[in-house]
Amino acid sequence: MSTTSTTVKPGESEVSGESGAGVKGVRGVRAVRTRGGLSLRLDVRALLACLLLLALALAAAIALIGSGDYPMTPAEVLSTLTGGGNPGQEFIVQDLRLPRVLVGLLAGAAFGISGAVFQAVSRNPLGSPDVLGFAQGSSVGALVVIVYFQGGTVAVAAGSVVGGVATGVAIFLLAWKRGIQGYRFVLVGIGASAMLYALVLYLLTKANIVEATRATIWMNGSLNGRDWDQVGPLAAVCAALLPLLLLHGRPLRMLEMGDDAAYALGVRVDRVRVVTLLAAVLLVASATAATGPIAFVALTAPQLARRLTRSPGPNLLPAALMGAVLLVAADWSAQRLFGADQLPVGVLTGVLGGGYLLWLLARERRVGRM
Amino acid sequence: MSRLAAENVTLAYDQRVIAENLSVTIPDHSFTVIVGPNACGKSTLLRALSRMLKPSAGSVLLDGSAISSLPAKKVARTLGLLPQTSVAPDGITVADLVARGRYPHQGLLRQWSAEDERIVQESMAATGVGGLAERYVDELSGGQRQRVWIAMALAQQTPLFLLDEPTTYLDIQHQIEVLDLCAELHEEQGRTLVAVLHDLNHAARYATHLIAMKDGAVIAEGAPCEVVTAELVQRVFGLSCQVIDDPETGTPLIVPAARKPRKAAAAAAVTASAVPTASATAAS
């Protein structure tokens, strides 16, 4: 952190709910201040949560690189990554498994952070891209390319990006009525999801057996056989959009309190909403293009992250890290439980996330929001 | 020269015009209350004054310049608003919520200054929620919650403070509590307050400047003791009443006329002195 020239004036930089100094009830928050009047607000618990998640993501990544038909110990993985492996290990790690893990980490982070943005804007935990029909929209795009143009991997990815972005824009326009209301957004999305799924089924009937198999494999959502061609574009999109979203974390937090309250506090509500949703849509579409639709990471990651940090607000960074952990850990579990490349990770997240969705629906009903 | 005014504004939602060519000036350091029957445009006017609704013609002026042309955060440092509905985020504490009122004074590199801390403390103390700082907002009573939201708006430290029906949905003792708090903020801190209120008696007691609206137009404005008359209430609300002195404050107090039983009403019209009673109704 660049503002380490902290002056610790007594009773001023110590702000913590637990220790009783500063404002009680502003929980676990410490301020870092400089003589020049700069101040950073640090939520200690959220910071620790992020560090924990980062460590978990790296551990899961190393475990995933080490698993497969040719197992490697974490020590071997680390030494190979730092250039100390034999040529065979070099090939397996650098060419085969590292791209897969990187796609997993990046796509997981993209799903996680866009889930957090969608849920914050719709003010509803159900308002996540999984529920809103983005997977179906991307699938339609990919299937059109597979069935009608017999396109290659790159063309399919491009088709899925177009499908995902078009779905996002359509939902946004249909749900817009003097701003975005949570349930309107969710209901429009569910409607879009159903219609797009019908379109997916129709496209499958038009496909021959080879195309249909290829389409089904794509729609399962998997990290199998990902290479550097997928890493590059996804990394570029993440490098541009993740920081942009993180910079919008503070206004997004204000948006939670309702449009009027956010306006009153000087948030340019419409602009923040358009910019963040657009960035989130692009992230989901790019991640889906790289992996195929992977169910429920975007739905669960922000909620789990929030429970870990116990901090209100969209928790963007923790959600991104949680998404990365979930996706890579799920892929690793799938490989351990069912053997290398037997079970696509999207199937596993679908089963686990579906259970979570049921619980969420039951809970929403209980608290009277549905 | 007043800091906040609407000049010849036309206010409309989509195609539905609520008010046309409306001009209102908020006197500085006043506690202005806007009253009127439902759908008279009072909340719409407040939304326009707080730049929540952009007039389709005319403009709202804040310190002489069109409010829509000013940077959002700059406006938020001058003019605070307590909206009719706000959502407390899940699992937020009172102090955390009040701290959000500091948003317009903060930036990426100035996130939580010692001044922020002091003002959050003061705002909670001024609204009497200091003791609730560590409680969750969702566990509070309606009256407490409203005071927390007011504390958040106070933490914004704006010389102008707009409140949209701050007493709606509150029990009578909480209504008075909130209005007393508003009067304190007005008197002790010299802020300009503008509130939309439903209860005419509350308006007459607390306002220093009253604006009565009907069908999108201002019917009367001025100090309550000059403006509030039986004729005005009849004209604005279509209610016949007596206006007497409030025994507590001496401000006007509206006492609606007693219900005239339907059959007796015709007779009463003839003999104006006849007082309809239960026995008269029973006899007829």
A312-342 confidence digits (pLDDT tens)? 888 999 999 999 999 999 999 988 888 777 7
Could you read off the pLDDT of A247-268 as tens digits, one per residue? 999 999 998 888 889 999 999 9
Could you read off the pLDDT of A172-230 as tens digits, one per residue? 888 887 667 778 888 999 999 999 999 999 999 989 898 899 888 888 888 888 888 88
Measured between CB atoms, does B193 come within 8 Å of chain A? Answer: no
Cross-chain CB nearest to A265 (options B103, B108, B114): B103
Q: Which CATH number fits the domain that encloses residue B88? A: 3.40.50.300
Cβ <8 Å between B133 and A31: no
Quote the minimal CA–CA distance from A211 to chain B in Å.
Answer: 47
Residue A314 neighbours by CB under 8 Å, 6+ apart: A116, A117, A119, A120, A249, A252, A253, A256, A302
B278 occurs within a structural domain: no
Cβ <8 Å between B73 and A263: no
B279 occurs within a structural domain: no
Contact assessment for residue B42 and residue B11, using Cβ atoms and an 8 Å cutoff:
no
B277 occurs within a structural domain: no
Alpha carbons A237 and A249: distance in angstroms, whole number: 18
Quote the minimal CA–CA distance from B234 to chain A in Å.
Answer: 34
Helix (H, G, I), strand (E, B) or coil at A47: helix
Report the chain A residue with the minimal C-alpha distance to residue B75: A266
Please tell me the number of Cα atoms within 13 Å of A330 on its side-chain side: 31
Helix (H, G, I), strand (E, B) or coil at B5: strand
Q: Does residue B180 or residue A8 have the better pLDDT?
A: B180
Which amino acid, residue A10?
P
B276 occurs within a structural domain: no
Cβ <8 Å between B110 and A261: no
Sheet holding B16-26, edge to edge: B16-26, B4-13, B57-62, B65-66
B280 occurs within a structural domain: no
B204 occurs within a structural domain: yes
Residue of A259, A284, A311 whose CA lies nearest to A118: A284
B281 occurs within a structural domain: no
Residue of B28, B44, B37, B85 whose CA lies nearest to B219: B37
Distances (CA, A) of B68 to B49, B52, B163: 10, 10, 20
Residue with token string 């963007």: A316
B282 occurs within a structural domain: no
How many domains, chain B?
1
Indicate the DSSP class of residue A22.
S
Contacting residues of A for B80, CB less than 8 Å apart: 264
Could you read off the pLDDT of A81-115 as tens digits, one per residue? 888 888 888 888 888 899 999 999 999 999 999 99
> Which residues on adjacent β-strands are paired with residue B244?
B253
Contacting residues of B for A44, CB less than 8 Å apart: none
Report the chain B residue with the minimal C-alpha distance to residue A26: B96
Helix (H, G, I), strand (E, B) or coil at A262: helix
Could you read off the pLDDT of B78-93 as tens digits, one per residue? 999 999 888 888 888 9
ipTM here = 0.83
pLDDT at A42 over 80: no
Give DSSP secondary structure letters for A99-145.
Answer: HHHHHHHHHHHHHHHHHHHHHHHHTSTT-SHHHHTHHHHHHHHHHHH
Residue B156 neighbours by CB under 8 Å, 6+ apart: A264, A265, B76, B77, B80, B101, B102, B103, B104, B105
Contact assessment for residue A132 and residue A192, using Cβ atoms and an 8 Å cutoff:
yes
Q: What are phi and psi of A368, to 5 degrees?
A: 80, 20
Percent of chain A scored above 90 by pLDDT? 44
Cβ <8 Å between A23 and B120: yes
Within a 10 A sphere around the Cβ of B92, how many other Cβ atoms? 23
Contacting residues of B for A17, CB less than 8 Å apart: 93, 95, 134
Beta pairing, strands B65-66 & B57-62: antiparallel
> Which H/E stretch holds residue A174?
helix A153-175
Residue of A190, A160, A181 whose CA lies nearest to A357: A190
Sheet holding B31-35, edge to edge: B79-82, B160-164, B192-196, B31-35, B209-214, B217-222
Quote the minimal CA–CA distance from B90 to chain A in Å.
Answer: 6
Cross-chain CB nearest to A24 (options B77, B81, B95): B95
Cβ <8 Å between B104 and A261: no
Residue with token string 């008197």: B187
Give the residue numbers spanning the domain of B209: 2-271
Helix (H, G, I), strand (E, B) or coil at B252: strand
Report the chain B residue with the minimal C-alpha distance to residue A18: B134
